[in-house]
Amino acid sequence: MSEKSVLAILGSPHISGTTATMLDCAIQSAEKKGYTVITVNLYEKNLSFCTGCRACMNTKVCIQKDDIQEITDYLHKCQTIILAAPVYWANVPAPVKNLFDRLLGTAMEETSTFPKPRLKGKKYMLLTSCNTPAPFSWIFGQSSGAIRNMDEFFKTAGMKPIGKIVCANAANKKGLPKSLIKKIERCLK
Ligand SMILES: Cc1cc2nc3c(=O)[nH]c(=O)nc-3n(C[C@H](O)[C@H](O)[C@H](O)COP(=O)(O)O)c2cc1C
């Protein structure tokens, strides 16, 4: 695993939308800083639903054979994961939630008390966008709901956050504000 490797995951169906633009900005910044970037567009991947079989608790990787094995390999290979997903119903879009479900045993081990992380030492960065304007997007649980949900996966996996960035009021913005671009660029050292 290279210290300067990034897995960039797009969890939006719009490849030119606000969320994708935020991710592109993070990728460009990472490449400028000498990182190798692997990009995954979740909406182009073949991923069945989690069946809740829990076999992955022992195998550490899902036993359903589709694109999850490739994504799991990338997760292990990369030091930093950047996940970009829009707010859908104060949460993440269904394919992103399904990705977390499919990675249950990859991310954590069950014990008789608290879960034991299986991806310790890695870093993560979260990018999201929503139509509710700030500060209501945060106060009323819209962007905060999506961020909380994404955090739950990465924290339980033992990973450390390096940035959580929200573009609120996205429908009324033409391009990303300069301040937001700077925030994104500052996350990766
Ligand atoms: C199914 C669906 C649910 C949404 N739910 C919310 C929501 O709960 N709160 C909100 O502020 N915006 C919501 N939105 C708006 C999106 O978060 C917003 O348009 C976002 O910028 C889309 O990102 P994209 O450009 O990557 O598609 C929703 C949009 C869709 C399609």
CB 7 within 8 A of CB 74: yes
**pLDDT, tens digit (0-9, with 9 covering 90-100), for 74-106:** 999 999 999 999 999 999 999 999 999 999 999
Question: What confidence tens digit (pLDDT) does each residue in 135-174 have?
Answer: 999 999 999 999 999 999 999 999 999 999 999 999 999 8
Mean pLDDT of 95-120: 97
Beta bridge partners of 82: 8, 125
| Cβ(12) – ligand 1 distance below 6 Å | yes
CA 83, 87, 93 angle in degrees (round to 5)? 70
Give the whole-number percent of the chain exceeding pLDDT 70: 99
15 CB under 6 A from ligand 1? no
- Which are the contacts of 156, defined by CB distance < 8 A and separation ≥ 6? 107, 108, 115, 117
Q: What is the pLDDT of residue 131?
A: 97
pLDDT > 90 in the chain, percent: 98
The gap between the terminal CA atoms of the chain, to the nearest Å, is: 17
Q: By CB neighbour count within 10 A (0-12 exposed, 13-18 middle, 19+ buried), where does 53 fall?
A: exposed
166 alpha carbon – ligand 1 mean position (Å): 12
Question: Is 3 a residue whose pLDDT tops 90?
Answer: no
Looking at the structure of the chain, the number of domains it has is 1
39 CB less than 6 Å from ligand 1?
A: no
How many residues are given for the chain? 189
pLDDT band at 14 (very low <50, low <70, confident <90, very high): very high
In angstroms, what is the span from residue 185 Cα to ligand 1's centroid? Answer: 24
2 has a pLDDT exceeding 80? no
Question: Which residue out of 130, 144, 173, 180 has the highest number of ligand 1 atoms within 8 Å of its CB and is therefore the one to mutate?
Answer: 130
Bridge partners of 108, per DSSP, are 117
Helices (H) and strands (E) in the chain, counts: 8, 7
Q: How far apart are CA 15 and CA 23, in angstroms?
A: 10
Any ligand 1 atom below 6 A from CB of 17: yes
Q: How many angstroms separate the CA atoms of 101 and 117, rounded? A: 15
Residue type, 14: H
**Tokens representing residue 108 in the block:** 């954590």
The CATH number of residue 115's host domain is 3.40.50.360
Question: The domain containing residue 44 runs over which residues?
Answer: 2-187
Distance 131 CA to ligand 1 centre (A): 6
Query: pLDDT value at position 170?
Result: 97
What average pLDDT score do residues 109-138 get? 96
